[in-house]
Amino acid sequence: MKTRCPNCQTRLHVTPEQLHARGGKVRCGICHTVFSANDYAENPNAPAQPQAARPHRYREESPPGYLEDEPYVDERRAGRQHQRIYQDEPFIEDSRDYDEGYDAIRHDDYDDEVYYREYRRARRRGGVFWLFVVLILLVALLWQGAVVFRNQLVHYFPATRLVITQVCAIAQCELGGTRSISQFSLENVSLKVRSDVLPQPSHTALLLQARLVNKENRVAEWPALVLSLKDGRGQVDRRRIIKVEEYLPAAMRVQPMAALSQYPIVLRLNLAGAMATGFELTPYYEE
């Protein structure tokens, strides 16, 4: 079906489905006028209507010798309009500080991207550097703490003694437990002449037996021992210092004496002269 817009005379082609869906109403696609398609439907067999002639406007010809009037132009308004249209941005003229080529290169988007990449790369390098510095300072702090508090660490954490021993070997420091004579006691002390050795007038072979006890609940350095021989009046006649290396194996000297522990001592000695009437065995620390 063909219909014609009553407003702009535009011919439209519509289908029955469109008319049924919109209740016979049609909207012109040119002027957007809504009208009834049936009211303005065209007969396809009707002859085409002749196009209405446009009204002729009478134009008086100018008499010879006269020029037609030109449109009046306000120069001031045109100048302002020209300035408003073409000079909306600052105009730089005769400026020595402006270089079009230099500024174009300097403010190029590619340079901005390169600068951003270099900035991120430099920042990443700086972050890695400071992380390395922090790690070094942390290791130095741990090293200093291990040296200063070495005895406390070994006392409360005995498993760290081997590591602290290696640290002290590098830092040239001494590691040990407490050095208190009062925390030791010697029990079941006996000193006998050895029967398996023939007596000699110049010296006497003796067998020393004792049990070294750590009475306190803390580790301690192994003490040396002092064997004092007394005469019949109870005066000290001879004295023998027994070092730790003499009664303790090398494997045990690496570790201090554990808290609340005991160690049996069996030591063979050779003393100059005859056997004394009395003796005394005491722990001892060298200064």
**Which of 8-12, 94-98, 198-202, 251-255 is modeled with the greatest confidence?**
251-255
For 195-215, the pLDDT digits (tens) are: 888 878 788 889 999 999 999
In the chain the first and final C-alpha atoms are separated, in Å, by 126
Q: Which residue do the tokens 């049924």 mark?
A: 20
pTM for the full model?
A: 0.43
- Cβ-contact 114, 105 below 8 angstroms: no
Which residue type, as a one-letter code, is found at position 270?
Answer: N
- DSSP character for 285? -
- DSSP character for 94? S
CA distances from 276 to 13, 161, 189, 192, 236 (A): 144, 42, 16, 11, 10
For residue 208, list its beta bridge partners: 191, 267
Span 92-105, average pLDDT? 47
Neighbours of 275 (CB within 10 A): 14
Please determine, for residue 104, whether its predicted confidence score (pLDDT) is greater than 60: no
For 156-205, the pLDDT digits (tens) are: 787 887 888 888 888 888 776 677 889 999 999 999 988 888 878 788 88
For 53-84, the pLDDT digits (tens) are: 455 454 555 455 545 555 555 555 555 554 54
